[in-house]
């Protein structure tokens, strides 16, 4: 049997489409984990990256934090957090947020630093307040890069959220972990396909967001 047969078998089994272990339920859980982790990571990474990037200070400290964040193994951290905090959402959120903060933080900082300094100088010379310079001059120009940081964070969360299943949570990882223990490859492949599709949808959403939010003056230059 090849992979495509597994996929076909998985998706044509009507049992996989209903109940607490059905595709809609697991997909919903997975999306929820992803959104929560992304929102938390963005709430940490965006403001810090924007402000440090605007003032051009703390780049070295940021890259240390980012390296440390990337160095922590997500899977090990998940197991460790579960040992420390017991089962639940929190031990899953911590490794996902630790995973997602570095790309958001570093790209936001870099995006702000790479903004051409002359419009900023002009804005300041016109008497614009610093906060306005940040949000109305720098942010619109830095937006494509910032979105790309958020995008790679989101993709990594989607892919890594599968490990939540190892500590008895839901999400699409359930199919993969359960399938592994039950030696049910059809389930594993089905779960993997769903995760990959979800990642592609995430890509598409970010592409659409960039189309909608980035000024044509920035996109084309």
Partner 1 sequence: MIRIDSVTKRYPDGTVAVDRLSLEIPDRSITVLVGPSGCGKTTTLRMINRMVEPSEGTILLDGEDIQRQPVTTLRRSMGYVIQNAGLFQHRTIVDNIATVPRMLGWGKQKARARAAELMERVGLDAALAKRYPYQLSGGQQQRVGVARALAADPPVLLMDEPFSAVDPVVRKGLQDELLRIQDELGKTIVFVTHDIDEAIKLGTMVAVMRTGGHLAQYAPPAELLSGPADAFVEDFLGGDRGIRRLSFFPSARLELTSDPVIPLDATAEQIAAPDAPYLLVTDADGRPLGWSAPRDLVAGDIRPERLLSHGRPFVPGTDSLRVALDCAVLSPTGWAVAVDTGGRVTGVVSQATIGEAIRSAHAAGRDDEKVAG
Partner 2 sequence: MNGFLHDFFDIPSDLQHSWIGLVGLHLREALLPVAAGLLLALPIAQLCIRFRWLYPPVLGITTVLYAVPSLAFFVVLINYTGQTELTVMIPLAVYSLVVLVPAIVDGVRSVPQETLSAATAMGFGPLRRYFQVQLPIAVPAIIAGLRVATVSSISLVSVGMLIGNQGALGNLLHDAQIYNRPELTWNSVITTALLAILVDALLVLVRVLLTPWMPSGTAGRKQAPALKDAAR
Residues at the site binding partner 2, with contacts judged by CB under 8 A: 3, 55-57, 59-60, 63, 67-68, 70-77, 79-80, 83, 113, 117, 121, 124, 130, 155, 158-160, 162-163, 166, 173, 176-177, 179-180, 185, 188-189, 191-192, 195-196, 199-200, 202-203
Round to whole Å and give the CA distance between 210 and 137. Answer: 17
| Residue 168 near which of partner 2, partner 1, none (CB within 5-8 Å, type-dependent) | none
Smallest gap, in angstroms, from Cβ of residue 128 to partner 1?
7
Query: How far is residue 134 from each of residues 10, 50, 117, measured CA to CA in Å?
Result: 50, 8, 12
Distance CA 199, CA 221 (A): 29
Measured CA distances, 198 to 52, 171, 181, 189 (Å): 33, 12, 24, 14
Least distance to partner 2 from the beta carbon of 128, Å? 11
Q: Which does 105 bind (CB under 5 to 8 A by kind): partner 2, partner 1, none?
A: none
Q: Which is nearer to partner 2, 143 or 158 (CB)?
A: 158
Helices (H) and strands (E) in the chain, counts: 11, 0
Find how far residue 11's CA is from the centre of its chain.
Answer: 26
* CA distance linking residue 75 with residue 94, whole number of Å: 11
Min dist CB 162 to partner 2, Å, is: 5
Nearer to partner 1, 111 or 195 (CB): 111
Which residue number, 48 or 155, has a Cβ lying nearer to partner 2? 155
Given a contact cutoff of 8 angstroms between Cβ atoms, the answer to whether 198 and 27 are in contact is yes
Chain residues in the site for partner 1 (CB under 8 A): 116, 118-129, 132, 137, 140-141, 214-218, 220-221
Q: How far is the CB of 43 from partner 1 (least distance, A)?
A: 25
């Amino acid at each position: 049997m090849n992979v495509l047969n597994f996929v076909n078998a998985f998706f044509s089994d009507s049992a996989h489409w209903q109940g607490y272990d059905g595709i809609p339920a697991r997909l919903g859980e997975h999306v929820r984990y992803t959104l929560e982790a992304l929102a938390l990571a963005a709430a940490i990474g965006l403001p810090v990256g924007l402000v440090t990037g605007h003032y051009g200070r703390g780049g070295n400290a940021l890259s240390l934090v980012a390296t440390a964040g990337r160095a922590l193994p997500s899977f090990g951290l998940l197991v460790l957090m579960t040992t420390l905090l017991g089962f639940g959402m929190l031990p899953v959120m911590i490794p996902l947020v630790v995973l997602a903060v570095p790309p958001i933080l570093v790209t936001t900082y870099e995006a702000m630093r790479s903004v051409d300094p002359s419009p900023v100088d002009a804005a300041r010379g016109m008497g614009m307040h610093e906060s306005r310079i940040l949000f109305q001059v720098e942010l619109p120009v830095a937006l494509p890069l910032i979105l790309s940081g958020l995008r790679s964070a989101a993709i990594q969360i989607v892919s890594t959220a599968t490990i939540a299943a190892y500590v008895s949570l839901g999400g699409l990882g359930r199919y993969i972990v359960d399938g592994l223990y039950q030696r049910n490859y059809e389930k594993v492949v089905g779960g993997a396909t769903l995760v990959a599709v979800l990642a592609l949808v995430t890509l598409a959403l970010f592409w659409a967001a960039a189309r909608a939010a980035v000024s044509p003056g920035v996109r084309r230059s």
